[in-house]
Amino acid sequence: FLKISKLALAFAIIHSKPPGKSCKEYIEHLARTVSEQECGWKSKAEALEAEVLRLRQELLLNKICPRFCLENDASAKTLLDQECINPGSYSSQLEDSGCDVSSDYVFDSLGLASDFHQPEHNGNASKQWLERVLPLNLCSTSKEKSLTAPVQFLQHLLEIRKLSEGGILQVDFAELENDSFTICNSVSQLLEGLTFFYSNPAFPFSSFLTEAVCVLTSLITDTKLSNHVLKKCFKKLEEFEKNLIQIILRASSVNRFQALHAISHTLVLLGRNNILRKSLISLLLPEVRQFAEQLLQAHQIQAECDITQYENIFPLCMILEQLLQNETEERKVSSSEYDQEGKIRFLKSLDQIVLHLSDEFPLFSIYLWRVSVLLNSAQTH
């Protein structure tokens, strides 16, 4: 039947072939036409899926906090009026790309460096995002436009959470447990977008990228929301960590260091959540250990070192050191909860590796030694 069908199709194409065209040209034309139609349907389907997700996000927000279900109507109206009168503080921040040609972190200008602080939300100075959308003029690419909905949704969720603390809004976060699809898909879209931008960095960095990182950091460090998010999205967040680590390791462009600083800083911010910090440390230890072993092997046989790989390993060392320092200072997770096997593998024969590499690779050897000291310190607490 299949052979007969193919033969019938071939005869139909030959008979319908317009004059002046060969069969090959006509077949290629038909193939292009079908392909264009498939792309059109695919685009329509993606647009409809995005609209469905946006409507689900609106529905979930209204279930968590109905717009007009306010315990204090006067206070809520004051907050909305203040934001309408003076929206400039927020928009003026977004005008700054957060990117500089210096070696400083690209997020420093927006207050997202290692001393990351969220503004205090109180009755007099709250940012009311329930009625505001992210400025679309920031979304210069289709990929950024696709991120507008999840960023807005998570911003609104965070703001509802902040305003609920002051008793201004009546909130029911139990709805998050009942609608795992919406929260999970929103976080997934945000992570995919950030991965895309970090994989294809464009300078200067968009303010939209900075805002997305800020929203993600706020989400995973919020005492109330982080548990809901991690319960549903831990695997996606861990996969995001893995992707960022691989982007750092595989980077090879000449001017990659500014992008590597931004990615490194994002990973450090993710490490502010205790659960993600544990996961991230477990991912970084074998990568640094594996490179150290490869470097030692190349050194012993007098082979040339790949300078690009050598330069790329330092951001991972710095991230690992920062996370271990944070863990040692906070002492919130006991050493028994860590990946003991991974720590043992990392520390095994590390002194010998440092000894053999210290003359030719002193800076890397110092980092290895500092990381080993922090790991041993964590074991004693």
Give the model confidence (pLDDT) of 92-111 as tens digits: 333 333 344 443 444 443 33
Domain assignment present for residue 123? The answer is: no
Residue 361's domain comprises 274-380
Instruction: Over range 29-44, report the average pLDDT.
Output: 81
pLDDT of residue 71: 41
From the CB of residue 237, how many other CB atoms can be counted at a distance below 10 Å?
22
Of 272, 305, 325, the residue at which a domain comes to its end is: 272
222 and 312, same domain (yes or no) = no
- Lookup result for tokens 């110092």: 366
265 and 304, same domain (yes or no) = no
Domain assignment present for residue 332? The answer is: yes
283 and 262, same domain (yes or no) = no
Of 226, 243, 272, the residue at which a domain comes to its end is: 272
Domain assignment present for residue 318? The answer is: yes
Structure token pair of residue 346: 């990392």
Convert 68-97 to b/e letters by CB count within 10 Å (16 or more is b).
eebeeeebbebbeeebeeeeeebeebbeeb
218 and 289, same domain (yes or no) = no
Domain assignment present for residue 138? The answer is: no
- Tell me the per-residue pLDDT of 332-344, one tens digit each, with 9 for 90 and over: 444 445 567 777 8
251 and 315, same domain (yes or no) = no
Residue 151 confidence (pLDDT) above 50: yes
The total number of structural domains in the chain stands at 2
Domain assignment present for residue 368? The answer is: yes
Report the sign of the C-alpha dihedral through residues 240, 241, 246, 248, in that order. Answer: positive
358 and 287, same domain (yes or no) = yes
Instruction: Over range 241-263, report the average pLDDT.
Output: 91
151 and 247, same domain (yes or no) = yes
pLDDT of residue 112: 44
265 and 152, same domain (yes or no) = yes
Of 242, 272, 302, the residue at which a domain comes to its end is: 272
183 and 256, same domain (yes or no) = yes
242 and 266, same domain (yes or no) = yes
Domain assignment present for residue 36? The answer is: no
Residue 270 confidence (pLDDT) above 60: yes
264 and 320, same domain (yes or no) = no
Domain assignment present for residue 140? The answer is: no
- Lookup result for tokens 């040339």: 304
285 and 182, same domain (yes or no) = no
The set of residues, in sequence order, having a beta carbon less than 8 Å from that of 211 and lying 6+ positions away, is 94, 134, 138, 151
Domain assignment present for residue 367? The answer is: yes
pTM surpassing 0.85?
no
